């Protein structure tokens, strides 16, 4: 009996779910949301998998609202499989059961992880819709929140999400947020 590779074990689980593989990355599109599973290999730590998704339609709006930053991109949510399995960062190294355990973790935990991030309401929640104020390190989350709210038809709330940034926010993030504010048609800062 030959030992299964991590790639073949994940192929076996992800292909029936509609994922296609390119190298050590699998992806599928559900509506406007693109979902990914990536195999991460480290000569020191071993092998694990990362799951992430993003909304392509919101990503398109992001590039439209910040045209001067051509490399701008977004990730809706990212998580390492071990954190989903038991709350720990799990890597498999020199483990003959590793491919099967990792594939089983993906089979059980990937579907609910992705499903909980597909609707615009879920996306808005993940970007901090319930948080009334910015935190210094979440400029991109506030921008993603504003664009998601815009897609939901909540223009006033979208503009409010970009009001009153923290003084500690990086200048580059503030410039991007201001570009989105203007693109949304929010009132000038002095009127906020």
pLDDT in tens, 137-187: 678 889 999 999 999 999 999 999 999 888 888 888 899 999 999 999 998
Give 58-70 pLDDT, tens digit per residue. 999 999 999 988 7
Q: In this structure, are 124 and 100 located in the same domain?
A: no
Q: From CA 60, how far away is CA 82, in angstroms rounded?
A: 31
Pair 43, 105 in one domain: yes
- Which of 115, 137, 155 delimits the end of a domain? 115
Give yes or no for residue 126 having a pLDDT over 70.
yes
Does residue 122 contact residue 110 with C-beta atoms inside 8 Å? Answer: no
Instruction: Determine phi and psi for 11, rounding to 5 degrees.
Output: -55, -45
d(CA 92, CA 71): 33
Domain of residue 185, residue span: 120-191
Domain boundary among 96, 115, 134: 115
DSSP 14: H
Q: What is the pLDDT of residues 25-51, one digit of tens each?
A: 999 999 999 999 999 999 999 999 999
Please name the helix (run of DSSP H) or strand (run of DSSP E) that holds residue 168, with its range, or none. Answer: none
Residues 22 and 110 placed together within one structural domain of the fold: yes
Question: Considering the chain, what percentage of its residues have pLDDT values greater than 90?
Answer: 74
């Amino acid at each position: 009996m030959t030992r299964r590779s991590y790639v073949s074990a994940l192929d076996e689980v992800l292909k029936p779910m509609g994922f296609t593989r390119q190298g050590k990355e699998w992806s599928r599109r559900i509506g406007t949301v693109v979902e990914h599973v990536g195999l991460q290999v480290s000569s020191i730590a071993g092998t694990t998998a990362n799951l992430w998704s993003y909304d392509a339609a919101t990503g398109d709006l992001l590039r439209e609202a910040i045209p001067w930053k051509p490399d701008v991109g977004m990730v809706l949510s990212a998580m390492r499989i071990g954190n989903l399995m038991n709350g720990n960062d799990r890597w498999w190294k020199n483990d003959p059961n590793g491919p099967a355990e990792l594939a089983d973790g993906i089979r059980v935990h990937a579907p609910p992880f992705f499903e909980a991030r597909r609707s615009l309401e879920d996306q808005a929640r993940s970007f901090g819709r319930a948080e009334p104020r910015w935190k210094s390190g979440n400029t991109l989350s506030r921008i993603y929140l504003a664009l998601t709210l815009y897609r939901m038809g909540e223009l006033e709330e979208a503009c409010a999400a970009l009001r009153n940034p923290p003084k500690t926010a990086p200048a580059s993030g503030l410039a991007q947020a201001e570009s989105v504010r203007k693109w949304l048609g929010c009132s000038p800062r002095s009127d906020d």
